[in-house]
A and B are shown apart, each in its own frame.
Chain A
């Protein structure tokens, strides 16, 4: 308490102009903070110096810099932005320019109008931060910053003595709250321009994440494990069992002895899919990967649907359901797909060029693997047998699933299969594919994700980057391409229950902490669900969702007219609500009917030329009225006695009240006994 009082007195002791400046600069700093990481260092430093200098100038009463100096500084700063960002256009450079201008504006900030300019720069900075990122943490921060900015604006425009440290915040809070319904209405009903209409080019140097286009087991010493979400999937049909959750993205068919690569033509071949069995419908929200590939379950039967794809005219490229390709996914991307897990794929015939490609091995490499393949093939030429025996070998020999395998040398396949025998999915799928091809079974590598944890709060599957996986497909006549996962043979738990339960995982696994502390895991799920709902319902509120909402309101077929009607109607509703609230807020105080009746009597007498002065007591008034309008005297005497009785004397019963009210009514109707006009 004492400390608080002390602080309050300290605040009072601060010179009011200084306090205003402090409030404006504080709010501006809040608006700037989210940009600091992206701003060039010289801008941040310059801003800090400018703020400190301006505060010092205010405190010491220094003169502000002259006009020529301000102009020079402005030109130099603009040139600086141009040099640092190589453009003045775009979100990053634009933000930098705003920040720089805020610093320069400080040099001429004197009047409330200058403060207002600073505050509006702050609003724009908040907006720019939301263009960069639309998470609700960011939104909450932006709202808080706007609150501080609005409070600073209020502080500048109110008389100095009306300001306490808190009062402008209260005012600004009320203003923001009052604006909330209008913001909600505008959010829901203002027509959406598909895509991000602001589509400001952002810096391209963001790292790519997720599945690589190439796979070179043995080069990477450790599997880069990231706990970040890769995508989330909602199912309208039953969710597949954990061991069936293979999310394919890329097919790698070309191998040079070390590295697996995509074939040139993939995505451009006709499909021959024999759809059978049940289908699965789902919607995927893919986090930005900066790559083209879209994950999907085996085997996609229907073209993905996505508002973004439809309206932006994006070309989806697909080929025999093995691959979906879209323009680079630079922002959260939502699409729907249908898969048929039991569909057969090229069951009858493998085109010769594909057969060749999926049997090819680099000349003269992997001798020990080839020897083993010959051995397998000698036991039985039947592909199914070969696959089974190879998997049996993985299972029986001391293979290990490890996250940090020993590096492999010149022949990674031979070394892995016969020496180290320790690796993760890439090692297994690569070695398996080589072994099968050497044994004459067309085989390829598929990369993507395996698994997914279901989120009870959001009703979706969350697939993390750490569940990236590689497996194989072998072609068997009569069945087509069949999925084989050699990793599952070695570490079945990896596939069934996820990375954490892999039988022989060594090394640090992300999310370990969550697995050990259930409530923490729960909390993380809830947080993820909230975030997802935010993106799904708010950030992802698009023209299509808007249309769906209009249809529910019965305005569906009217298009933009429907929006206009809805907008006008909700504005009208908001105005009505506000009017009702104002009417309630400023309602006249409840009045005693006795008081009201006495007022009517006064009005009646006023009409007769003898109004009651506000300060006149009842008897004084009655006496004067009787003197000035003698005709009313007889009735007025009873009336005023009754009035005084119920209003000022003890024990005014309800019957006395009623009697007075009746008398008053009677008097107002006929002030004299004989009904003559008193003035006649």
Chain B
């Protein structure tokens, strides 16, 4: 059995378990898993109460990861996230108390309610995968995965993340309201929190790390790179967007597509994989030029996907 097929066999139960908690959100669940596989961080943007926290918790339990949650508020300080040095009178020295960031899955709830200062403390840690305090550099655990949730920026009391910070998130997804039938099932079923608490890990942490390591090895054919580059070139040259995708974003896109392919048991990336992750990867990085007031995401289907032929 190929490594890809093996990966799929390992991951399918996890996806199935997540789907049993979040009803009708198969695509979002898979994107979240792919995001973990690609060692990226996930930004969930949606209204309160559609299951953002549930997804994060279910993900942590299913993948067998330590879980911490930080509720971001406007008075949150960097030390509240990273940790703080406290004077220990007996030992006559400062002791560093690790903050909630020292975990494997961190849920940063309502990240855009915090001040930019607190936001950037977390985002630095996400990028570097380490925390520097009192001149000491402390590595964060492996794997390290941040799920941040964000209220739509038109809500009151928010500090929208600037583009440079958005770039730290590999994907941004939206959950959306459930369909009528599924909502009925939700209403009839047991409390989701209880269900989540009862979940057993479907994957061992070292298996997850092995899968993460394999993502960059997923085969990428020349025609696929042609296609990806054509897409990126289009974002830069078509004039539809304020700014094109950066090389870092291009690499992120490729990783996400590789993770998507692996999740589906493919040993190579297909144009479909690139397209599947296009919106979550590029949506928060591209600003349409003819932005309409209130429009949150560009019509990437029309502006990008359908404008570039598959190679």
Given A595-B223, A647-B221, A650-B219, A617 contacting B309 (CB threshold 8 A): no
- Contacts known (A595-B223, A617-B275); A649 close to B309, Cβ less than 8 A: no
A648–B269 contact, CB under 8 A?
Answer: yes
Q: Which residue of B lies closest to A646 (CB)?
A: B221
Instruction: Point out the residues of chain A lying under 8 angstroms from B269, CB to CB.
Output: 648
Q: Are A649 and B306 in contact (CB under 8 A)?
A: no
Which residues of the other chain, A, contact B311 by a CB distance below 8 angstroms? 595
**Among A595, A615, A618, which residue has its beta carbon within 8 angstroms of that of B305?**
A615
Please tell me if the beta carbons of B310 and A644 are within 8 angstroms of each other in the complex.
no
| Least CB distance, A89 to chain B, in whole angstroms | 60
Q: For residues 261 through 309 of chain B, which have their beta carbon under 8 Å from a beta carbon of chain A?
A: 266-272, 275, 305-309
A648 to B309 CA separation, bound complex (whole angstroms): 16
Interface members, chain A 611-646 (any B CB < 8 Å): 613-620, 644
Of the residues B223, B270, B306, contact of A613 by C-beta under 8 Å = B306
**A644 touches which one: B270, B305, B307, B308 (CB < 8 A)?**
B270
Query: Would you call B310 and A650 a contact (CB within 8 A)?
Result: no
What chain A residues lie within 8 Å of B223 (beta carbons)?
592, 595, 647-648
- Does B224 interact with chain A (Cβ within 8 Å)? yes
B217: nearest chain-A partner, CB-CB: A650
A618 to B268, CA, bound (A): 13
Counting chain A residues whose Cβ lies within 8 A of the other chain, the interface size class is 10 to 19
**A648–B221 alpha-carbon span in the complex (Å):** 5
Q: Is the CB of B271 within 8 A of A614?
A: no
Contact A619 B310 (CB under 8 A): no
Contact yes or no, B306 A615, CB < 8 A: yes
> With the chains together, A595 CA to B310 CA distance in Å?
11
What residues of chain A lie closer than 8 Å to B271, measured between beta carbons? 617-618, 648
Specify which chain A residues have a CB less than 8 angstroms from the CB of B219 in the assembled complex. Answer: 648-650
Q: Known: A615-B309, A616-B310. Contact between A649 and B272, CB under 8 A?
A: no
The answer to whether A648 and B310 touch across the interface, beta carbons within 8 angstroms, is no
**Is B270's CB under 8 angstroms from A614's CB?**
no
- Give Cα A614 to B275, complex, Å: 13
CB distance from A600 to the nearest CB of B (A): 16
CB distance from B311 to the nearest CB of A (A): 8
CA A615 to CA B270, docked complex, whole Å: 12
One of B267, B272, B306, B307 near A617 (C-beta < 8 A): B272
Residue of A nearest to B231 (CB): A615
Contact call B268/A650, Cβ cutoff below 8 A: yes
Give the residue name and chain of the A residue nearest to B221 (CB). A648
Q: Which of A567-604 contact B (CB under 8 A)?
A: 592, 595
Q: Please, which residue of chain A has its CB at the minimum distance from the CB of B276?
A: A617
Take A595-B223, A647-B223, A649-B266 as given contacts and tell me if A614 and B272 are in contact as well, using a CB distance cutoff of 8 Å.
no
**Which of B268, B269, B306, B307 is most buried by chain A, counting CB atoms within 10 A of its CB?**
B268
Q: Which of A636-671 contact B (CB under 8 A)?
A: 644, 647-650
Interface digits, B201-236 against A, CB 8 Å rule (1 contact, 0 not)? 000000000000000000101011000000000000
Q: Are B224 and A648 in contact (CB under 8 A)?
A: yes
How close is A465's CB to chain B, nearest CB, in angstroms? 69
Residues from chain B with Cβ under 8 Å of A647 in the complex:
221, 223
CB distance from B19 to the nearest CB of A (A): 22
List of B residues within 8 angstroms of A648 by Cβ: 219, 221, 223-224, 268-271
Which residue of the partner chain A has the closest CB to B305?
Answer: A615
8 A Cβ contacts from B5-27 to A: none
B218 (CB) vs chain A CBs: closest residue: A650
| A615–B275 CA distance with the chains assembled, in angstroms | 9
A649 touches B268 (CB 8 A): yes
Show 26 residue pairs from A and B whose CB-CB distance is below 8 angstroms, ordered by the A residue.
A592-B223, A613-B306, A614-B308, A614-B309, A615-B275, A615-B305, A615-B306, A615-B310, A617-B270, A617-B271, A617-B272, A618-B270, A618-B271, A618-B272, A618-B310, A620-B272, A644-B270, A647-B221, A648-B221, A648-B223, A648-B224, A648-B271, A649-B221, A649-B266, A649-B267, A650-B267
What are the 7 closest A-B residue pairs judged by CB atoms, nearest first? A614-B309, A650-B219, A617-B271, A649-B268, A617-B272, A648-B268, A648-B221
Known A595-B311, A644-B270, A650-B268; 7 more pairs at CB < 8 Å: A614-B306, A617-B271, A617-B310, A619-B270, A620-B275, A647-B221, A648-B268
Interface residues of A (CB under 8 A from B): 592, 595, 613-620, 644, 647-650
